[in-house]
Amino acid sequence: MTEQRVSDYTTGTDTSAEGRASDAYAGSRQTTEGTVYTVTGGDWDDVLADAAGEERIVMNLGPQHPSTHGVLRLVLELEGETVTQARSVIGYLHTGIEKNVEYRNWTQGVTFVTRTDYLAPLHHETAYCLAVEKLLGVEVPYRAQVARVILMELNRISSHLVALATGGMELGALTGMTAGFREREEVLHLLEFLTGLRMNHAYIRPGGLAQDFPQGAENRIREFLKVMDSRLPDYDKLLTGQPIWRNRLQGIGYLPVDACLALGITGPILRSAGLPWDLRKIEPYSGYEHYKFDVPTSNEADSFARYRLRVEEMHQSLKIIKQGVDFLQPGPVMVEDAKIAWPAQLTIGADGMGNSLEHVRKIMGQSMESLIHHFKLVTEGFQVPAGQVYVPVESPRGELGYHVVSDGGTRPLRVHMREPSFVNLQSMPAMCEGSMVADVIASVASIDPVMGGCDR
């Protein structure tokens, strides 16, 4: 019996085993686990052939290059020093996080999503947990909501500082780079004190938090606020009024509001074009409606406007954190439902991750039923009612949305992220084509893409 050849009804592509093996884009090899297909960028020869015989140069910028924000590859077609065509090539950092989450229980999923955008892990944790909580039909306690807001705003400050520091480094402003990473260390030290880890915290869990803030957290946060209030104005003195910095950014990477809307661009890029779209104001979550803060905008729609906007957003985040510290009240940080409440009832061990010996002795000394319940909750997890939800939050780069599907089991059926780095990177050709090759660096820096979010 001959093998039936299957063709994709939209493209006419041969998708049978024989067809895939001969596909230039997906070469195959046999392994002990079966046939493995390797997808490659097979159109590179076509690009070169298209430019052959003309006064054009095709240049690879990346994926290993100090100006490409991680493993981002830019394929630029040049006439002299003018960019006539720009394409971004992603996929060099793919970790399969979305797929991996399907093979872990709902609580374990947090440890994966936090590693997606490694500059805004707490926003990913919050968005994922809000989606799970929406499926569960539960609302986290008030103290946990306030703590989440404080952590997200701290994370927003640290992310913007990295955007500023790396952008400065790429444009030759090394003092801006050292200052930005110096202030970021202040944020990471505070996050380590509050959550136990500098990055990839897995601190925000479905139903609340892994544990409460340690003693003295309010005082440590207030000390941090004093430090940042004294240091942030220095960036205006160092960079904003600096003629070279202004000339390198003003009028570069122009993207008006209609182009942003056509491409689905959100975050600082959209607000730099004049539209005050911020989900914390438009669709408040985690109690953001109770905080007083402004949404800074600009009408210049260029790289300099995005730089100034991020600096102002850090001031607004400090304002939110100050209010959050005042809002903190004693109380639980996890829902009372014992079928969901692990692991907030445990005492974290010395490694910051597992149970302490004291807590293990307490569980084992209570009853056999208690021990069985704890074992099943840790190994199997809790069940989430069948359904699907989409929950967006405002990350440092724009709208971060989680589409989560449950079939009623103890692990997700599907978790898909609407990641702003991936969407915003579409704006790169519109910003760069027609400009000088040196200005591509400034434009990409103003987008502030994180490749962990693109290649997830």
Q: 217: domain CATH number?
A: 1.10.645.10
Q: How many helices (H) and strands (E) does the chain have?
A: 20, 10
* Torsion angle defined by CA atoms of residues 128, 185, 224 and 194, in that order, rounded to the nearest 10 degrees: 40
Q: Is residue 14 domain-shared with residue 163, that is, in the same domain?
A: no
Contact criterion met (CB below 8 Å) for 159 and 120: yes
Q: Is residue 12 domain-shared with residue 126, that is, in the same domain?
A: no
**pLDDT score, position 352:** 54
144 domain residue, yes or no: yes
236 domain residue, yes or no: yes
**pLDDT score, position 50:** 62
Strands 73-79 and 82-89: antiparallel
195 domain residue, yes or no: yes
Q: Is residue 4 domain-shared with residue 126, that is, in the same domain?
A: no
Apex CA 288: angle with CA 282 and CA 291, to 5°? Answer: 110
Q: Is residue 180 domain-shared with residue 327, that is, in the same domain?
A: yes
**Is the C-alpha dihedral spanning 395, 213, 341, 96 positive or negative?**
positive
**pLDDT score, position 60:** 82
351 domain residue, yes or no: no
* Total number of domains in the chain: 2
Which two tokens mark 164? 């500023």
Q: Is residue 27 domain-shared with residue 131, that is, in the same domain?
A: no
Q: How far apart are CA 141 and CA 332, in angstroms?
A: 6
Q: How far apart are CA 4 and CA 11, in angstroms?
A: 18
Q: Where are the alpha helices (DSSP H) in 171-302?
A: 174-195, 217-231, 233-235, 243-249, 257-263, 268-271, 279-282
141 domain residue, yes or no: yes
33 domain residue, yes or no: yes
Apex CA 219: angle with CA 347 and CA 184, to 5°? Answer: 85
Q: Is residue 306 domain-shared with residue 178, that is, in the same domain?
A: yes
Q: How far apart are CA 378 and CA 105, in angstroms?
A: 9
Q: Is residue 164 domain-shared with residue 20, that is, in the same domain?
A: no
Average confidence (pLDDT) per 10 residues, the chain, 456 residues: 36 44 66 72 60 71 68 86 88 85 90 90 94 93 94 94 89 86 92 89 89 89 93 87 88 91 92 92 92 92 92 94 92 84 56 63 71 78 92 94 93 93 91 89 90 86
Which residue range forms the structural domain that includes residue 5? 1-40
With 0-12 / 13-18 / 19 or more C-beta atoms within 10 angstroms meaning exposed / middle / buried, residue 132 is buried
